[in-house]
């Protein structure tokens, strides 16, 4: 892969403007925004279940205009600082998929499942800020969405390679673009001024050894990604479970009891998520038939 | 370079208008629908908004509300473009809190001179705090005076940040500014969400703020401000200081002293019962109460319980 080509992809991905959201989420949130009785907190609960809107919210609160660059890593704080009106505006400005594909819903489910697993693992290990780890887990695959939207032709080639040569998505990305969605997500969030706490775990979720400051969070997201794929919730674009990093595994230092606890806890928490997902898909279908 | 966001049909700004405005140093961004305008506004707020009435159904009002609530830039002038028949039918200005109207079709020289006037008027605008963009002392004085004259029981609430000075010395003024801005955001957003009616938020300066809400909402607002501040605070403090529960810094006498983490104190002065006649009495009562609140540890608010007020 020649460097200039890689640079060109890099520049295109950094410029990503259009990250579409599931119609069902936008419909639900628009309804809440119009309801005088709904609170910012309630809307925050829904926003924090969507990898795209969550990423946009963090982009907004860390932008130079709002005055807190590279500082805000939690969604609840972002909502407190931006306020009801800005959150409503964010919903108005949200774009939705022009062509909904099953995999868009599946990637959303995978992201949400990964956030749930991150939160359980982070709490079990006893990290200081479990909410931030779970937020990083929620948006860890944002690079995949950016590649699909910004580089549609290359994305076609990537899916063809996966199909024809039975490659994992990341292998195919490396073959076609010379870079993976993890790196792409890292640049994107860096160009949005997100804090290192979030950038590193996204950029290093396939190889936590690359993390300088956030190796533990990166390891949690790396492991949660594998765990949620193994548990068969959602679909991350391919059916290949990534190799577990030895370094990450040592760092997490989970005992068999920990693993049992984590699997039970994630299973339980997924019930709520599954209910929410069904609700959103019903909204999506409604909006398709009425829209 | 003044940036004008034009939201509406692309015939609003004809090519000759564009040439004329750009020759005068204006930069024009055109968005054809509410979604694009909102999105653009969030990413990069303009200096002036020219908006076609009726854009996106009621979407035009949503856009106006967003611009009015924009905290990064106070007072973005909004010029509403209306049609002859709308002028005859009349417009409810409560629905459309805009600064000026222009009648369609818009002649280039009319647009230019209206934009220039809007800019000039904005530059005349009072005393906003340059950091938080919130109204400053002149407006605060007026707001408190009119609160005293209001029929409805209101509460004037004075907010300040505990341990702000040592924080500012320890972390540097740029981080201090961030905290001042953060507290402004927290207050504005809470007041806006739960007590918008007859409310006011002003910035006295430094780490002192005032907000006015109806008396029945005052405690709820205080509680929420304190809780929200508590939720966000640690993002502005080094993790080791959070763990330690404070930091060491020189006090006003130059001695090394350990200070607790940032917290917030609110002194709430209800204006009813006619116990105050003028602004001075309110601020005197507030400063007495503030001493009491600040003596308490952590985040607190206190409501003035005295039935009558005597100076001293």
pLDDT of residue B308: 59
CB A150 within 8 A of CB A188: no
CA atoms within 13 A on the CB side of A65: 20
Cα–Cα distances (Å) from B306 to A289, B146, B147, B303, in that order, read: 62, 21, 18, 9
Q: Report the chain A residue with the minimal C-alpha distance to residue B224.
A: A80
Contact assignment for B182 to A63 by CB distance below 8 Å: no
CB A182 within 8 A of CB A208: no
CA distance B156 to B283: 9
Taking the alpha carbons of A258, A259, A263, A266 in that order, is the dihedral positive or negative?
A: positive
Classify A62 as helix, strand or coil. Answer: coil
CB B148 within 8 A of CB B155: no
pLDDT of residue B238: 92
Contact assignment for A72 to B235 by CB distance below 8 Å: yes
The tokens describing B169, both together, are 């010395």
What's the pLDDT band for A85 if we cut at 50, 70, 90? confident
Give the closest of B59, B65, B228 to A80, CB-based: B228
Hey, which residues 43-82 in chain A have their CB within 8 Å of chain B? 60, 63, 65-68, 71-74, 76-77, 80-82
Going edge to edge, which strands form the sheet with B2-7? B26-31, B2-7, B48-52, B78-82, B100-103
pLDDT of residue B218: 97
pLDDT of residue A161: 95
The tokens describing B263, both together, are 């917290």
Ordered mean pLDDT values, 10 residues apiece, chain B (312 residues): 89 85 92 91 89 89 84 77 90 90 89 90 73 87 90 95 94 95 96 92 95 97 98 93 89 85 96 82 92 94 78 46
CA distance A136 to A132: 6
CB B205 within 8 A of CB B130: no
Average pLDDT for residues A16-32, to the nearest whole number? 91
Phi, psi of B225 (to 5 degrees): -60, -45
Residues of B in contact with A65 (CB under 8 A): 44-45, 72
The tokens describing A277, both together, are 């997902």
Contact assignment for A93 to B182 by CB distance below 8 Å: no
CB-CB neighbours of B272 under 10 Å = 14
The tokens describing B297, both together, are 């540890």
Percent of chain A residues topping a pLDDT of 90:
76
pLDDT tens digits, one per residue of A143-184 = 999 999 999 999 999 999 999 999 999 999 999 999 999 999
Name the residue among A33, A27, A62, A191 with its Cα closest to residue A135.
Answer: A62
Q: What is the pTM of this model?
A: 0.85
pLDDT of residue A115: 98
Name the residue among B309, B272, B273 with its Cα closest to residue B289.
Answer: B309
Strands in A153-277 per DSSP E: none
pLDDT of residue B74: 59
Mutate which of A80, A195, A214 to disrupt the B interface (most B C-beta within 10 Å)?
A80
Contact assignment for B34 to A92 by CB distance below 8 Å: yes
CB B62 within 8 A of CB B42: no
Average pLDDT, chain A: 93
pLDDT of residue A19: 92
Hey, which residues 27-46 in chain A have their CB within 8 Å of chain B? 39-40
Phi, psi of B265 (to 5 degrees): -120, 135
Q: Which residues, 6 or more positions from A167, have their beta carbon under 8 angstroms from its beta carbon?
A: A161, A175, A238
pLDDT of residue B312: 42
The tokens describing B165, both together, are 């000075």
The tokens describing A101, both together, are 């594909």
pLDDT tens digits, one per residue of A95-136 = 888 887 888 999 999 999 999 999 999 999 999 999 999 999
Give the closest of B39, B43, B181 to A67, CB-based: B181
CB A122 within 8 A of CB B62: no
Q: Report the chain A residue with the minimal C-alpha distance to residue B66.
A: A85
CB A176 within 8 A of CB A157: yes
Give the closest of B42, B192, B231 to A89, CB-based: B42
∠ at Cα A51 (A46, A54), nearest 5°? 65
Residues of A in contact with B69 (CB under 8 A): 83, 85-86
Q: Strands B300-303 and B263-270: what pairing? A: parallel
Contact assignment for B42 to A40 by CB distance below 8 Å: no
Q: What is the dihedral of CA A194, A200, A206, A209, to 10 degrees?
A: 180
Taking the alpha carbons of A151, B44, A22, A291 in that order, is the dihedral positive or negative?
A: negative
pLDDT of residue A262: 98
Q: Which residues, 6 or more positions from A178, have their beta carbon under 8 angstroms from its beta carbon?
A: A1, A5, A6, A9
CA distance B1 to B124: 18
Phi, psi of B162 (to 5 degrees): -75, 145
The tokens describing B175, both together, are 């981080």
Contact assignment for B193 to A83 by CB distance below 8 Å: yes
Q: What burial letters (b/e) apply to A152-177, b meaning 16+ CB within 10 Å?
A: eebbeebbebbeeeebbbbbbbbebb
CB-CB neighbours of A65 under 10 Å = 17
The tokens describing B155, both together, are 């509460």
Contact assignment for A92 to B35 by CB distance below 8 Å: yes
CB B40 within 8 A of CB B87: no
Hey, which residues 250-279 in chain A have their CB within 8 Å of chain B? none
């Amino acid at each position: 892969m020649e460097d200039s080509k890689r640079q060109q992809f890099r520049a295109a991905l950094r410029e990503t403007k259009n990250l579409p959201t599931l119609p069902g989420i936008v419909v639900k949130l628009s309804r809440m925004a119009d309801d005088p009785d709904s609170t910012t907190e309630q809307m925050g609960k829904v926003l924090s279940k969507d990898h795209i809107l969550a990423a946009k919210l963090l982009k907004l609160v860390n932008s130079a205009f709002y005055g807190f660059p590279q500082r805000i890593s939690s969604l609840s704080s972002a909502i407190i600082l931006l306020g009801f009106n800005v959150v409503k505006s964010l919903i108005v400005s949200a774009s939705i998929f022009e062509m909904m594909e099953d995999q868009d819903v599946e990637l959303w489910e995978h992201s949400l499942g990964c956030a749930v697993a991150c939160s359980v693992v982070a709490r079990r290990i006893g990290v200081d800020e479990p909410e931030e780890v779970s937020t990083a887990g929620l948006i860890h695959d944002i690079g995949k969405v950016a590649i699909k939207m910004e580089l549609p032709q290359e994305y076609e080639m990537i899916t063809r390679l996966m199909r024809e040569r039975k490659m994992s998505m990341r292998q195919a990305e490396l073959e076609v673009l010379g870079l993976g969605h993890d790196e792409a997500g890292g640049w994107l969030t860096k160009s949005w001024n997100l804090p290192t706490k979030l950038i590193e775990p996204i950029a290093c979720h396939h190889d936590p050894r690359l993390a300088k400051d956030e190796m533990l969070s990166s390891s949690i997201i790396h492991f949660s990604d594998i765990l949620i794929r193994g548990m068969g919730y959602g679909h991350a674009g391919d059916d290949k479970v990534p190799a577990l990093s030895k370094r990450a595994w040592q760092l997490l230092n989970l005992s068999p009891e920990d693993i049992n606890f984590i699997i039970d806890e994630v299973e339980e928490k997924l019930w709520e998520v599954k209910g929410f997902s069904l609700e959103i898909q019903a909204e999506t279908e409604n909006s398709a038939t009425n829209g | 370079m003044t940036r004008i966001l034009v939201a509406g049909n692309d015939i609003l700004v004809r090519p000759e208008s564009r040439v004329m405005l750009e020759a005068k140093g204006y930069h024009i961004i055109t968005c054809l629908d509410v979604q694009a305008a909102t999105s653009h506004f969030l990413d990069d707020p303009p200096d002036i908004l020219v908006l076609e009435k009726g854009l996106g159904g009621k979407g035009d009002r949503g856009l106006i509300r967003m611009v009015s609530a924009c905290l990064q830039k106070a007072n973005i002038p909004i010029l509403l473009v209306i049609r002859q028949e709308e002028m005859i039918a009349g417009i409810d200005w409560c629905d459309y809190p805009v600064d000026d109207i222009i009648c369609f079709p818009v002649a280039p020289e009319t647009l230019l001179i209206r934009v220039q006037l809007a800019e000039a008027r904005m530059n005349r605008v009072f005393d906003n705090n340059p950091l938080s963009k919130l109204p400053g002392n002149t407006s605060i004085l007026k707001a408190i005076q009119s609160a005293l004259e209001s029929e409805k029981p209101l509460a004037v609430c004075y907010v300040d940040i505990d341990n702000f000075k040592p924080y500012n010395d320890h972390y540097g003024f740029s981080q201090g500014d961030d905290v001042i801005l953060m507290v402004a955001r927290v207050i504005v957003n809470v007041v806006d969400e739960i007590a918008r009616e007859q409310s006011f938020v002003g910035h006295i300066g430094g780490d002192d703020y005032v907000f006015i809400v109806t008396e029945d909402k005052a405690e709820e607002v205080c509680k929420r401000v304190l809780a929200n501040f508590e939720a966000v605070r640690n993002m502005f403090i080094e993790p080791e200081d959070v763990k330690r529960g404070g930091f060491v810094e020189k006090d006003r006498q130059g001695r090394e002293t350990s200070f607790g983490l940032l917290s917030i104190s609110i002194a709430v002065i209800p204006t009813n019962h006619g116990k105050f006649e003028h602004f001075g009495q309110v601020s005197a009562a507030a400063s007495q109460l503030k001493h009491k609140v600040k003596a308490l540890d952590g985040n607190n608010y206190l409501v003035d319980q005295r039935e009558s007020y005597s100076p001293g």
